[in-house]
Amino acid sequence: MKHSLKDWIIATRPWSFPASTMPAMVAISYAFYVNKIVPMDVNWWLGVLALFGAAIFQASGNLISDFYDFQRGVDRKESFGSSRMLVDGIFKPNTILNFGLVLLAVGIVLGLFLAFKSSYHLFWIGGIGVLSTLFYYKLKYMALGDLTIKVVYGFLIAFGTYLVITNKLEWRILFIASSIGFLIVNILHANNLRDIRDDSKADIKTQAMILGVKNSILYYTLLGFGAYLVIILAVILKILHPVSLIVLLSLPVLLKNIKEIRKAAIDKPELIKDLDAKSAQLVLIFSLLLTISNFIAGLVVSI
């Protein structure tokens, strides 16, 4: 079967890429802000490559996960989620798996280049990323998906991006990135809450299944507000400039998402069928506001 370029792109689930690219973007903008206060030797081009590398690893992980979810029966005709390229018979399973492995190889090559250009610390950061990409599906089936996403997308992408730009391990970026990490975990959690009924038929266990509907709603709410609390604390601790509080402009989006998740019901997944995409939109808006604020803060400091 001949496939169009659009088919190949859709198979990677590009609408989910804010989860990987936005932490990298925030790290780049924070390096700009810090560089205006304490001048450093900064390589911005390596940061751009790290951003693309993060997206490549996520695309690979999406494809590999889709393959195993289809094989395990997690993704079926009647279920929501995935790219639907396998359940609709557009691609053969091995094609999707091989595509994911090729992208993983590309990501590894790019990661090695960045490591040799910056710091050996990128080897262990990248190593965790590779293992998470390959085995995320197994971790997800054991209710460890949320933790994996938090570590990789909430910490390591921003930490690694800042490292390749500045050749410095900056622990403050971990604190800042944790705010985005909370919101990224909510993408997965919204997906898993919606899919409790279907996932239980596939004999897997997710965090949402353990928590149940009521506690899952509370969990989503706490993570959402936690993201804003981190930014407020970062401003108080002078890790971020006060202009970073413009992220609060995205709060109505969170409130709208919380209102929607409160409709969740195990036997009616269609009620929150698009909440994972809406949660990804919040990640994008929140992160762009934080990125813009860091660039503004850097310009203000330099005046």
pLDDT at 159: 96
Residue 247 to residue 8: CA distance in whole angstroms:
34
Q: Give the amino acid at 265.
A: A
Instruction: With cut-offs at 50, 70 and 90, classify the pLDDT of residue 202.
Output: confident
Nearest 5°: CA angle at 35, between 33 and 41?
A: 145
Q: How confident is the model at residue 204 (pLDDT cuts 50, 70, 90)?
A: confident
For residue 172, is pLDDT > 70?
yes
d(CA 103, CA 94): 14
Q: Is the pLDDT of residue 72 over 90?
A: no
pLDDT band at 300 (very low <50, low <70, confident <90, very high): confident
pLDDT averaged over the chain?
A: 92
Predicted TM-score (pTM) of this structure? 0.93
Whether the CB-CB separation of 187 and 254 falls below 8 Å is answered with no
Taking a C-beta distance cutoff of 8 angstroms, is the pair 144, 162 a contact? no
In this model, does residue 115 exceed pLDDT 70? Answer: yes
In the chain, domain spans: 9-302
So what's the pLDDT on residue 107? 96
Structure tokens belonging to residue 159: 């930490």
With cut-offs at 50, 70 and 90, classify the pLDDT of residue 291: very high
CA angle 171/176/178 to nearest 5° reads 95
pLDDT in tens, 4-23: 888 898 899 998 899 999 99
